[in-house]
A = this chain, B = another copy of it.
């Protein structure tokens, strides 16, 4: 647990909570959603039983909590295996839809949990997300929004509402391959937007199949013509390139807003430009999340 900013209790209007599978982050938000302070812990939803959520949050909030301050959560905390299920809100979904569909945990310190969003076709689920919808609402403009990560989401926002989206398992594949596959001998350190990264992106954009190109990372390291850093970058490039190559077929090059941590948006910006996406803007994920929590909460009033 850490307290990122100095105390400012009196100005607090909302406690916003971003509770994912592997992280828990709480923010004290003041006038117009300004972040007054932040705390985080590694007690993600994935490691908690249902009865553990309330005490875990109470412990993190500590002296922040007092009667009359609303608490609004988003993320996997609202999954079926989380604190309390907040059933997916069907797309198209905007700030008002999310506010209306939020569920309350009840109890001594009730929290409202913002639901995820789903896309259905002919009565079947096509795709789901939890957490990224708040980032998209926080970005607060229409167009194509891309949230990189374990499960990257390409989100189309129309008329202020999430119209449709698609999930790519890019980050999860990277973690599995870099840490648990034969490629673990050929990679080292975080991927950077280097020449090796762009080489990987370029090969994927040229249509090289992932399942074939991945092994070339192993072969290049046997040949001593690729450092571990280059291996990481090339692996990342092949995976991000494959994601962008597929998405480009759906969307064509158009303005795109990246919402993520700088290490990720740097990589994606370089890859998107190589793929012909000229207008790429990057937003900080934390800023988009707190903005989105604030906007949904305002709509609850």
Contact = CB atoms under 8 A, between A and B. Distances in A.
A125 interface: yes
Looking at chain A's contact residues, the main secondary structure is helix
Interface stretch (A49-57, A131-139, A215-223, A285-293): A215-223
Given A151-B215, A219-B126, A239-B211, A172 B167 contact: no
Interface stretch (A65-73, A94-102, A193-201, A241-249): A241-249
A128 B210 contact: no
A236 to B, nearest CB: 13
Number of copies: 2
B168 A215 contact: yes
A143 to B, nearest CB: 20
A243 to B, nearest CB: 5
A210 B207 CA distance: 12
A204 to B, nearest CB: 10
Chain B CB count within 10 A is highest, among A127, A209, A215, for A209
Contacts of A214: 169, 173
Interface in A242-260: 242-243, 245-247
A181 interface: yes
Contacts of A222: 125, 128
A215 B172 CA distance: 11
B182 A212 contact: no
A166 B212 contact: yes
Given A124-B225, A127-B219, A181 B169 contact: yes
A242 to B, nearest CB: 5
A177 interface: yes
9 contacts: A126-B216, A151-B182, A166-B212, A169-B181, A172-B181, A173-B211, A208-B246, A209-B246, A210-B242
Interface of A: 124-128, 151, 166-170, 172-173, 176-177, 180-182, 208-212, 214-216, 219-220, 222-223, 225, 239, 242-243, 245-247
Question: What 4 pairs across the A-B complex have the smallest Cβ distances?
Answer: A209-B246, A125-B223, A167-B215, A176-B176
